[in-house]
Chain A
Amino acid sequence: MITRIGILSTFVAASAAAQSDSAALRGVVRSTDGSAIEGANSFLLETLEGTLTDADGRFALRSAHRGAATLVVRRIGYRAVQMPVTLPRPELVEILLTPDAAILAPITVQAGRYTAGDERGATLTSLEVVTTPGAAANVNRAIQSLPGAQTVDEGTALFVRGGDYTETRVLLDGAVLLNSTQLRTPTGTFTGTVDPFLLDGIFFSSGGFSARYGNALSSIVDLRTQGRPDESSATASAGLAAISGSIAIALPRTTGIRAAGNRLDLGPFFRVNDSPRRYDPPPTGHDVSASATWRYRPTAEIKLFAIDQRNHLGVGVDEASFGGLYDVAVESDMAVLTWRDAVGTVSSWVSLSTSQLDEREQFGVFRLGTRLRSTQLSALAEWPATPSLTVRAGGELERTQSAFDGSIPERGDDVAPDARTTLFDSEGAGTRDGVFAEGEWRVRPALLVTVGARTDRSELTDERTADPRISLSLALGHGATMTAAWGNYHQVPDPMLLDAEFGDASLPPMRATQSILGVHLERDRLTARVELYEKHYHDLALLTRNNEVVGGGTGRSRGADLWLKWTAPLGVNARVAYSLVDAQRTDASSGIVTRAPFEVTHSVTALLERRWPAFITTSAAYRYATGRPFTPVVSATFDPQRSGWTPTYGPPMSERLPAFRRLDLSGSILRRFGPVQSVVFYTLSNALDRENVHTYRYSPDYSQRMPVRSLFNRAHYFGFSLTWS
């Protein structure tokens, strides 16, 4: 009886509510993480009648309209949803809003993924890239301050998660950069290729990247150049080692052009600062770049970007067999034409590029000339098939032509002028095609799964590869997200290793399997991320110390990365990146699987920045890294035939260099004088004047081992920049 009364009273109450409420449609709007969305604009397309959701995400829409209608739900920061409804509708409508890719995509946490730019949620802002102490406004060095990147030498090459730097693929507007670093010396490269002021955004994946990216075993750097300038401006900068200028012209009718030039000369720098090495010539170079953009609709753009670079350096190097200048000269250029548009709900992007590199190296009898040319066509389309599923598909076609000539010493440790060498002069060419498809599926409000696969085939290896990949992101609440990724990755060996004369033309594609598990925490003032990873390598192409190419190398790499970014009161920002890695791979010279030559067990970068009144900013960065492993020479025997000493090597990778430590300090002052904005900056690199060791050299009879110090002692660098607008 009590039950009957209960049912009856419920029925009466419901009927009364129905009669007193004329809402034609009721609904609830939630975000994909399950939280209610307040203030979402919910309306009928046919009549434009609408209302806003309350704090619980609920709305009641009143309308006299009856029959078929279209419900539209919009909220700033989310993709609008449009769905058919029949009015009146007694059932509650549930609407799920996905964060808008244009506004909130960077906050979508994915395993191994870091971004730099001015968008919300970026790991580093553009200015942090420029102002990272010791980074010298260098993109690669700023990326090195992110977790997963190891400090293997003092250069700008990107060694990521126990992998070689050749396993990192660097793209510019989707096109492959043939030389991602410049001014190479035996202990590292001086600088990256692309000026950060030319860039609009940087995407760095330390692993677990999606099927969109092919031909890379370890990591991806995807650089995006700036689009149409909003207004005309001109900038002139001068520093102790470089002068540069740029101009941006906003033309009528949504077009614009940019041009920039940069001249690098480290001569003045070495006159102010001592260097333990001799240079002839000091590192010099220049680059010019230009772009033209036509934004013919707010969502559509055609852009042409071109860059030409030249650089040259000679640095003194002492080896057991020879002491002299290591000389390297590089000329490179690149042009990329990109088009992007959104028609209806489909976004598409196409890139056509051509790039070439001409590099000449010489040290003793070692001479190597490398000419590479790459022509590439890439395309991508994205379609939000349903509110919870986005489909992407695309591909690339890349033609690579290579030519090598020179003389390589028969024994890698003997470059003396009278050493025996192998002469070679060869050319090669091959085309690689790759296609991929992936779906990004919001399975539940808190769970995002990306499943994809790609297949590639290169004429150089004559083998088609298949790479399935999956990643997931699960919101745990309270700003915490769990991430995981697994996938197969293939990469065509360097054209030189596949060269018929120098290398082995039968090498297969190299392969890696990556697994990643992580947790990301996002709070008001704190961002933290921990990731565990494991990689297994197969079919690695390797080079012995005598410059012989061997295939079939294996290896594995596992470790953990930690990232902390904290915004403290009083304008203080702090960042800490820590990477732990345990990496093994086949030692090419002995065939033994042992420590990888770039296994830097611990890498730490800690950075503190303080903004003061009067637009003064000061910052400090401290870097620590375990010394990298090397194979020591344990004895030597005299070879009367060539009148020289032949070294005997100890167990491969059985010793380590001393740990690397460095403190960099920097400061800048910003001022505005009418239409001119000025920035004066000063950096003290290696403030503690620590003599880091980057390799060892030996006496001619190998009885003595001497450390090769850093290219730089404590060094001052200063300059200014003026911008007219």
Chain B
Amino acid sequence: MKTMLVVAAAISAASAQAQSPNGRDKWADSARIEIEAATALGNLDRLRQASALLERALTALPDDPLLLHYLGYARYREATIMQGMKREEDEYRPLLEAADSLLERSASTLPLAESYAIRSSVLGQLIGSNPLRGMTLGRKSSSAMDRAVEVGPNNPRVWLLRGIGAMFTPSLFGGGLDKAEEYLDKAVALFSSDAPAPPMPAWGHAEAYIWLGQLHRRRDRIDEARQAYNRALELQPDNGWVRHVLLPGLDRAKS
């Protein structure tokens, strides 16, 4: 119901003002809030609603870079959740390909650090289970991340995504848990002073603790992991992944 209200409010406001920058900001902000909530709940339907909202807005403002950014971001989140649900690659790969294209288009006119960082992550996921695909996409992924750091050296979302990427990259290829911890610690520190004005991207604070918690868990630092998860829940009380999966997992590990 909340979704419907947000969408309806956005539509009624934006249909009249769609062509104005102010109208654009309302669309973008509504989508931003929806994506954040849907991601925390792992709710694919809400993510698709947010994407639908952005697609409609882009019909009125076809090349708006911020709307393109958020649509690319929503596609990336949808694909990530589907991967977590162990869906077939054929189902989520088109979403990643769409995200790649949207974020590239967005960054060509609005060079947001987040666009580059998310694109790096998207390309990393497109490599997926086939390391040979890394021959072409690996280069693109790392250069997108380099560009993200260049554009936003103190952007916590860049360091968050860099840290997540490092967790899944062998140390031979510049990743590893040590690097991941360094990046995630930096992200957490930067989030303390992160206050972007709407409708700019503001996600990731709770997520940084979630990934830091997982990193501690991998290194058998159960108490530190729990502390990080609890901090994530303080920031995002309805995060189902932490509440129903990660924290109970720690309890099982301790017992």
- Min Cβ gap A147→B in Å is 23
**Residue-wise interface mask of A (25-54) relative to B, using a CB-CB cutoff of 8 A (1 in contact, 0 not):** 000000000000001010101011111100
Residues on B with C-beta less than 8 A from A464 are: none
Segment of A406-414, A510-518, A669-677 engaged in the interface with chain B? A669-677
Residues of A close to B90: CB separation below 8 A: 120, 524
Return the CB mask of B62-91 against A: 1 if under 8 Å, else 0. Answer: 000000000000010000000000001010
Q: Of A71-79, A283-291, A535-543, which binds chain B?
A: A71-79
Q: Is there contact, CB below 8 Å, between B133 and A41? A: no
Q: Does A571 contact B (CB under 8 A)?
A: yes
Residues of A within 8 A of B133 (CB): 118, 125, 127
Q: Which of B15, B88, B129, B174 contacts A674 (CB 8 A)?
A: B174
CB-based contact B132/A131 at 8 Å = yes
The reply to whether A617 and B135 form a contact with Cβ atoms under 8 Å apart is no
Q: Does B219 belong to the interface (CB within 8 Å)?
A: no
A254 within 8 A of B: yes
Q: How many residues of A contact B (CB 8 A)?
A: 41
Tally of B interface residues using CB under 8 Å = 41
Q: Flag whether B140 is at the interface (Cβ < 8 A).
A: yes
A131 neighbours in B (Cβ, 8 Å): 132
Contact A48 B132 (CB under 8 A): no
Report the tally of A-B residue pairs with Cβ distances under 8 A.
Answer: 90
Q: Which of A241-276 contact B (CB under 8 A)?
A: 254
CA distance A262 to B52 in the complex (A): 49
Q: B residues within 8 A CB of A118?
A: 133, 136
Q: Which 10 A-B pairs have the closest CB atoms?
A: A725-B139, A672-B173, A41-B52, A48-B56, A231-B143, A615-B131, A127-B132, A47-B15, A77-B94, A43-B56
> Does the CB pair B105–A76 fall under 8 Å?
no
A127 with B140: CB separation less than 8 A: no
B5 in the interface (beta carbon within 8 A): no
Which residue in A45, A51, A679 is a CB contact (below 8 Å) of B59? Answer: A45
B147's closest neighbor in chain A, by CB?
A: A231
Q: Does any Cβ of A come within 8 Å of B185's Cβ?
A: no
The docked-state distance in angstroms from the alpha carbon of A51 to that of B52 is 8
5 residue pairs from A and B, CB less than 8 Å apart: A47-B15, A48-B14, A48-B60, A118-B136, A672-B172
Nearest CB of chain B from residue A188's CB, rounded to whole Å: 29
A718 CB to nearest B CB, Å: 18
Task: Tell me if A723 counts as interface (CB < 8 A to partner B).
Answer: yes
Q: How far is the CA of A131 from the CA of B52 in the complex (A)?
A: 41
The answer to whether A679 touches B108 (Cβ under 8 A) is no
**Contacting pair B135 A677 (CB below 8 A):** yes
Distance A74 CA – B218 CA, assembled complex (angstroms): 42
Bound complex: CA A74 to CA B56 (Å)? 9
Give the secondary structure class of B's interface.
Answer: helix
Q: Which residues of B contact A125 (CB under 8 A)?
A: 133
Min C-beta distance of A566 to chain B, whole Å: 15
- Taking A52-B52, A231-B139 as given, write out 16 further A-B residue pairs in contact, using a Cβ cutoff of 8 Å, ordered by the A residue number: A41-B55, A43-B56, A47-B15, A49-B11, A51-B52, A118-B136, A120-B90, A120-B93, A126-B136, A230-B140, A611-B131, A611-B132, A670-B131, A671-B172, A674-B174, A677-B139
Please tell me if the beta carbons of A76 and B174 are within 8 angstroms of each other in the complex. Answer: no
Q: For A127, what are the chain B residues with a Cβ–Cβ distance below 8 Å?
A: 132-133, 135
**Complex Cα distance A231/B49, Å?**
34
Cβ of A298 under 8 Å from chain B: yes
Chain B: which residue is nearest A51 at the CB level? B52
Instruction: Determine if A48 and B18 form an interchain contact, defined as CB atoms under 8 angstroms apart.
Output: yes
* A127-B133, A131-B132, A674-B174 known; A254+B108 contact, CB < 8 A: yes
Contact A233 B139 (CB under 8 A): yes
Which residues of chain B are near A725, meaning CB under 8 Å?
Answer: 139, 142-143
A144 CB to nearest B CB, Å: 21
Contact: B11 with A48, CB < 8 Å?
yes
B176 CB–A CB distance under 8 Å: no
Residue of B nearest to A248 (CB): B139
Say yes or no for A103: interface residue by CB 8 A criterion. yes
A614 to B173, CA, bound (A): 10
Which residues on the A side are within 8 Å of B200 (C-beta)? none
Inter-chain contact A723/B139, CB cutoff 8 Å: yes
Q: A620-637 vs B: 1/0 string, CB under 8 Å? A: 000000000000000000
Give the chain B neighbours of A48 by CB distance below 8 A: 11, 14-15, 18, 56-57, 59-60
Smallest beta-carbon distance B63→chain A, Å: 9
> Inside 8 A of B143's CB, which chain A residues have their CB?
231, 725
The answer to whether the Cβ of B193 comes within 8 Å of any Cβ in the partner chain is no
Chain A residue with the shortest CB-CB distance to B27: A48
Q: Pick from B11, B48, B170, B173: contact of A52, CB below 8 A.
A: B48
Give min CB distance, B48 to chain A, whole Å: 5
Residue interface bits A479-508, CB-to-B below 8 A is 1, else 0? 000000000000000000000000000000
Complex CA distance for A131 and B75, rounded to whole angstroms: 32
Q: Give Cα distance in the complex from A125 to B95, angstroms.
A: 19
B residues near A671, Cβ cutoff 8 Å: 172-173
Q: Is there an interface contact between A76 and B94, defined as CB atoms closer than 8 Å?
A: yes
Q: Closest approach, in angstroms, between the C-beta of A59 and any C-beta of chain B? A: 11
Render A81-105 as a binary contact track against B, CB cut-off 8 A, 1 for contact: 0000000000000000000000100
Name the residue on A nearest B48 (C-beta): A39
**CB contact between B135 and one of A45, A49, A614, A679 (< 8 Å): that residue:** A679
Contact B55 A74 (CB under 8 A): yes
> B40 interface residue, CB < 8 Å from A?
no
Separation of A633 and B206 alpha carbons in the complex (Å) = 84
B130 interfacial contact with A, CB 8 Å: yes
Q: Complex: how many Å from CA A76 to CA B14? A: 23
A614 contact set on B, CB distance < 8 A = 170
Report Cα–Cα, A77/B75, bound state, in Å: 13
| Contacts A611-B131, A672-B173, A672-B174 given; does A50 touch B52 at CB 8 Å | yes
Pair B139/A670 contact, Cβ less than 8 Å: no
